[in-house]
């Protein structure tokens, strides 16, 4: 599988990343281990997780279960060296660690707990799952209100976190770090403070990005290009909508929609109309919709690497084929036209 570098000086990894957020809930441990085996056999070398996983739903009693499942595989296989591992610390208001905010002290506690569960002494990429101040991701963009933010307090917290990250990097517990569900302003401040010598530069930003969710396409795309920050695109198949499995308003057994009927705000009349448009493009080109959607992310004019996740191994097997799929100019033009006809469907 083709290799790419994360950021300017991060690790070189496979062009697809294995997502794990269903491990321990929708995906039982034995199935999760089969998925890791399958991904490794196909050349995937990058795996992403988080302390709060599994999801759908997120529950305090299951926090850390996904990391434990991955740790069990690593111990059983002895193949830690084959993988670049990424995990995340939950932010303020989450289920992990009582919902405490991200601070210098909480970063260290969260990381140490993740390392124990994963059974490793370090992770190559450590990420903050969402900002303490909140985020416009997860459909919160429709009512986003930054007017209550305290700039001085935010910057002071960033400085404290960068100091801790520098120490953790020096201790060998993390190789690099990144953000998730962050904004252009937030990323710019982290980079500015790092460049002023307060700590290491972030190399990646993990935000939702797909044919249906293109908030990244303007300011963040420009930042990603000029600052060499790689987008780790989660939900590149639109939370399963871009597989076509929900067409006709159906709810397949075992799917995310069983627990989230509206897919956390993604399932709307407008989004289903957009799915129909993309499905038509795929069928006319003789393509699988999910593979087309994932392959499309790899054509974007900024550094990007899609995270693919699956509840079952045959879902993963299909998604992995996107790594070698080259979309024609006709398909790309049709996708661009469909996007203009169905902008921001959720």
Residue 243 DSSP class: G
The count of other CB atoms within 10 Å of the CB of residue 311 is 22
Contact 12, 46 (CB under 8 A): no
Tokens coding 282: 């795929």
Is 216 a residue of the active site?
no
Q: Is 93 exposed, middle or buried (0-12, 13-18, 19+ CB in 10 A)?
A: exposed
In 3D space, the residue among 108, 149, 152, 113 whose CA is nearest the CA of residue 132 turns out to be 149
How much helix, strand and coil, in percent to the nearest 5, is found in the chain? 45, 15, 40
64: helix, strand or coil: coil
Give 240's contacts (C-beta < 8 A, 6+ positions apart): 246, 255, 256, 257, 263
Place of tokens 């529950």: 59
DSSP collapsed to 3 states, 175-232: EEEEEECCCHHHHHHHHHHHHHHHCCCCCEEECECCCCCCHHHCHHHHHHHHHCCEEE
The sign of the CA dihedral 320, 213, 238, 60 is positive
For residue 329, how many C-alpha atoms fall within 13 Å in the half-sphere facing its CB? 0
Q: Which of 53, 126, 209, 246 is flagged as catalytic?
A: 53
Q: Which residue numbers are catalytic?
A: 53
């Amino acid at each position: 599988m083709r290799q790419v570098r994360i950021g300017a000086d991060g690790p070189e990894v496979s062009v697809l990343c294995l997502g794990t957020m269903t491990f321990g809930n929708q995906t039982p441990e034995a199935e999760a281990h089969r998925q890791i085996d399958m991904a490794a056999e196909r050349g995937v070398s990058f795996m992403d997780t988080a302390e709060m996983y599994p999801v759908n739903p997120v529950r305090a009693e299951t926090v850390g279960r996904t990391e434990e499942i991955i740790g069990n595989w690593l111990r059983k296989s002895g193949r830690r060296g084959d993988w670049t591992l990424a995990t995340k610390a939950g932010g303020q208001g989450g289920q992990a660690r009582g919902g405490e905010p991200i601070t210098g002290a909480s970063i260290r506690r969260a990381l140490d707990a993740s390392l124990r569960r994963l059974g490793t002494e370090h992770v190559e990429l450590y990420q903050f799952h969402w900002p303490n101040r909140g985020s416009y991701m997860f459909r919160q963009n429709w009512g986003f209100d930054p007017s209550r933010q305290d700039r001085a307090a935010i910057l002071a917290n960033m400085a404290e976190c960068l100091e801790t990250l520098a120490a953790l990097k020096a201790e060998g517990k993390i190789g690099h770090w990144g953000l998730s569900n962050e904004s252009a302003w937030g990323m710019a401040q982290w980079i500015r403070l790092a460049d002023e010598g307060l700590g290491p530069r972030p190399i990646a930003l993990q935000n939702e990005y797909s044919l249906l969710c293109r908030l990244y396409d303007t300011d963040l795309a420009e930042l990603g290009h000029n600052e060499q920050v790689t987008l780790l695109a989660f939900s590149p198949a639109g939370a399963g909508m871009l597989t076509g499995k929900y067409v006709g308003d159906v709810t397949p057994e075992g799917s995310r929609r069983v627990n989230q009927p509206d897919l956390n705000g993604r399932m709307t009349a407008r989004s289903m109309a957009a799915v129909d448009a993309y499905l038509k493009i795929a069928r006319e080109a003789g393509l699988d919709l999910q593979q087309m959607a994932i392959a499309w992310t790899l054509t974007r004019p900024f550094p990007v690497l899609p995270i693919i996740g699956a509840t079952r191994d045959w879902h993963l097997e299909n998604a992995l084929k996107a790594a070698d799929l080259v979309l024609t100019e006709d398909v790309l033009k049709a996708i661009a036209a469909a996007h203009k006809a169905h902008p921001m469907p959720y």
